[in-house]
Amino acid sequence: MNMQKVLVTGGAGYIGSHVVQQLASRGEHVVVIDNLSSGYREAVRGAELVVGNVGDAALVESVLRANDIDAVMHFAAHTVVPESVSDPLKYYGNNTCNTRNLLAACEAAGVDKFIFSSTAAVYGLTEHGVADEDTPTHPANPYGTSKLMSEMMLCDYCMTGRMRHVILRYFNVAGCDPKGRIGHSAPTATLLVKAACEHAVGKRASMAIYGTDYDTPDGTGIRDYIHVEDLASAHLRALDHLREGGVSLKLNCGYGHGYSVREVLDSVARVGGHPLNIVELPRREGDLAMLIACSDRLKQVLDWHPQYDDLDFIVRTALTWERKMVGEHARLSSVA
């Protein structure tokens, strides 16, 4: 296969950096654009980093042209749901308007393959707590709406025939590189597995369960957790699909089954080797009882086969990373 260069926006962030590492490991030439507002320079492994804003169309176009970019993978976005509710314009500006500018730069540079990082938040409340790609979309927050609007722009643009795309709708991403080289380093975590692992290593005094009266077996919310490395591999399969002339696709990324909040916390306690200090609080507005992916299309069309569909393994990789971060912080403190 002729390896041209791939542009990865947000490639210094949690998910983007894992995709960049997989791309580089198979010999791809990768260029990353990231403004480092939530990403980390040291997380970019095996790729060139351009520090800048993906909404800067002139910068992006110059990078595309200078590097003979073959395809774009677009991760750069704000992703915190409560923040999107309190500051919706920030999310529409960064997630939606910047995606429009990126597409314009792709058009100007003649880039015709695009992989978009979307989210299960586009679905909102579903009838039975399970979503396939044809489930109606009713986002419950501005974050989900900002991503859905970007999907709509991308689909409309691709209808012109000048681009093909793969939209990947993530469910609950968790875990870290099994070799411990990169991980989830965000200082204010909102994802359950990371937050629980932070508590397990002493970075949080307690761990909250929001809602214990849902109509689920143990009363807590159920979600579909996918290991970040399996999610990253789906992006590589999507890239191969487009390079082989495949049609535009919209695909769910999950394992097709879920775990409750209590089951996740039990796993963290089990893997960590000690009990957690759990505080039970009322439900949060907008939280759903259950959301599980139907990801049959991803497996069938892209021939995607997950390797890490095991909750304890997911937790173990996340916990290993948190312990590494604690050790690095202690080392730097002792030097200072």
Return the pLDDT at 287: 83
300 in any annotated domain: no
Range of the domain at 272: 192-223+257-293+309-335
Q: How far is CA 104 from the centre of its chain?
A: 23
User: What separation in angstroms does the CA of 102 have from each of 54, 69, 286?
Assistant: 6, 13, 31
CATH number of the domain to which 111 belongs: 3.40.50.720
17 in any annotated domain: yes
124 in any annotated domain: yes
Same domain, yes or no: 200 and 242: no
Same domain, yes or no: 119 and 23: yes
304 in any annotated domain: no
186 in any annotated domain: no
Mean pLDDT value across residues 193-215: 96
Same domain, yes or no: 150 and 282: no
Per-residue model confidence as pLDDT tens digits over 83-130 = 999 999 999 999 999 999 999 999 999 999 999 999 999 999 898 999
Same domain, yes or no: 13 and 91: yes
184 in any annotated domain: no
Same domain, yes or no: 148 and 219: no
CATH number of the domain to which 206 belongs: 3.90.25.10
303 in any annotated domain: no
* Confidence grade of residue 1 (pLDDT, cut at 50, 70, 90): very low
Mean pLDDT value across residues 154-182: 97
Per-residue model confidence as pLDDT tens digits over 34-61 = 999 989 999 999 999 999 999 999 999 9
Mean pLDDT value across residues 279-296: 91
Residue 255 has pLDDT above 60, yes or no: yes
Same domain, yes or no: 109 and 248: yes
Which amino acid makes up residue 58? A
User: Number of structural domains, the chain?
Assistant: 2
Average pLDDT, the chain: 94
Same domain, yes or no: 50 and 160: yes
Residue 336 has pLDDT above 80, yes or no: no
Same domain, yes or no: 205 and 114: no
301 in any annotated domain: no
Strand extents, DSSP E, the chain: 5-9, 29-34, 48-51, 69-74, 113-119, 130-131, 164-170, 172-174, 207-210, 222-223, 225-227, 249-253, 259-260, 278-281, 290-293
Let me know the angle formed at the C-alpha of 309 by 304 and 311, rounded to the nearest 5 degrees.
155
Euclidean distance between CA atoms 336 and 334, whole angstroms: 5
Going by the DSSP 8-state scheme, the letter that residue 92 receives in this structure is: I
Same domain, yes or no: 248 and 115: yes
161 three-state secondary structure? coil
Q: How many helices (H) and strands (E) does the chain have?
A: 11, 15
Mean pLDDT value across residues 278-283: 95
* Confidence grade of residue 63 (pLDDT, cut at 50, 70, 90): very high
Residue owning tokens 């996918």: 226
Same domain, yes or no: 97 and 203: no
Return the pLDDT at 327: 82
Question: Taking the model in full, what pTM does it have?
Answer: 0.95
Element (H, E) at 240: helix 228-243
Same domain, yes or no: 237 and 95: yes
For the annotated catalytic residues, the residue numbers are 143
Same domain, yes or no: 72 and 165: yes
Burial zone of 2 (CB within 10 Å; 0-12 exposed, 13-18 middle, 19+ buried): exposed
